[in-house]
Amino acid sequence: MFLGCGIAVPGLISADGDTVTYATTLAWDRVNLRPLLAARLQTAVVLVDRGKAAALGELWYRGRATQADLIYIYLGTGVGDGLVFNNTVHEGADRAAGEIGHMIVDPRGPLCKCGNHGCLETLISGPAVAMRAQAAIKAGRATLLTHWLAGQSLDALTAKMVADAALAGDDLALEILEQTAGYLGIAVANLVNLLNPQLVVLGGPASRWGNLLLEATQRAVQQRALDVPRRSVRIVLSQAGDVTVTLGAAAMILRQASQLLTAGW
């Protein structure tokens, strides 16, 4: 039976669920997406923020009975998160909670599309990682990446290539990974101190770095978070992997369509 369509969006959703209020990575500003898609698809449509969808998907995959609380951090072209407490996604007063991508970790850092400087997303997103590698190559650093580009312009360099180079043991790529995990570690340490979570899950395309990213982030959190919450938190990679966001979007439509999932979601 086709119940409807859950759409995960990398941006904020309005309180009525109809509009993508803004999505910096898509350069969308107040797009009235839900009614538009519902009319076109002739079915129920639910919009959900991508970070929240990923958190729900991870929770569903891990089994709600065994995991009531988690923070999911989505690492990709954009950076977002979903905060789940007692099986419930924290929405905030305006459904705007979960914007870790705009947590300011370096006030003297790069300008963000939101207007602030040094938001986490400007330092660890896919484009930010690629730009750091491009700048280092321009400055003359030796790296495997130069060979992989095989004469193409530096614009062809992607975060995925930097991740692959790190996995191949390239010094520059490993340095960029350490910087990236350092910034991520600042943000996670802030969350750990603020919320005392049981579990922090790292997911999205950057989880391609696997244990390299995980262990470097764990080290950064060890250095920065307070003793008590730091000892209890587990920082892990997503178990659900690539399907996490899709699972979460499906969970949203299931909740609306049939209450197959019990109260709380």
| Interface positions with Zn ion (CB under 5 A) | 102, 112, 114, 116, 119
What gap in Å lies between CA 262 and CA 2, rounded to an integer? 20
Q: Which is nearer to Zn ion, 80 or 185 (CB)?
A: 80
In angstroms, what is the minimal distance from the CB of 204 to Zn ion? 17
In angstroms, what is the minimal distance from the CB of 184 to Zn ion? 15
Q: Which is nearer to Zn ion, 119 or 249 (CB)?
A: 119
Q: Which is nearer to Zn ion, 64 or 102 (CB)?
A: 102
Q: Is 210 helix (H, G, I), strand (E, B) or coil?
A: coil
* Position 139, amino acid: A
In angstroms, what is the minimal distance from the CB of 71 to Zn ion? 19
Q: Which is nearer to Zn ion, 79 or 247 (CB)?
A: 79
Name the DSSP letter for residue 64: T
In angstroms, what is the minimal distance from the CB of 111 to Zn ion? 9
What gap in Å lies between CA 36 and CA 3, rounded to an integer? 18
How many Cα atoms sit within 13 Å of 117 on the Cβ side?
5
Residue 243's CB: how many other CB atoms inside 10 A?
A: 12
Q: Which residues pair with 74 in a beta bridge?
A: 80, 203
Alpha helices by DSSP H, 65-170: 120-124, 126-138, 144-149, 159-167
In angstroms, what is the minimal distance from the CB of 229 to Zn ion? 26
In angstroms, what is the minimal distance from the CB of 116 to Zn ion? 5
Q: Which is nearer to Zn ion, 21 or 116 (CB)?
A: 116
Q: Which is nearer to Zn ion, 116 or 190 (CB)?
A: 116
Burial class (CB in 10 A: 0-12, 13-18, 19+), 119: buried
Question: Is the Cβ–Cβ distance between 200 and 192 less than 8 Å?
Answer: yes
Question: Is the Cβ–Cβ distance between 55 and 248 less than 8 Å?
Answer: yes
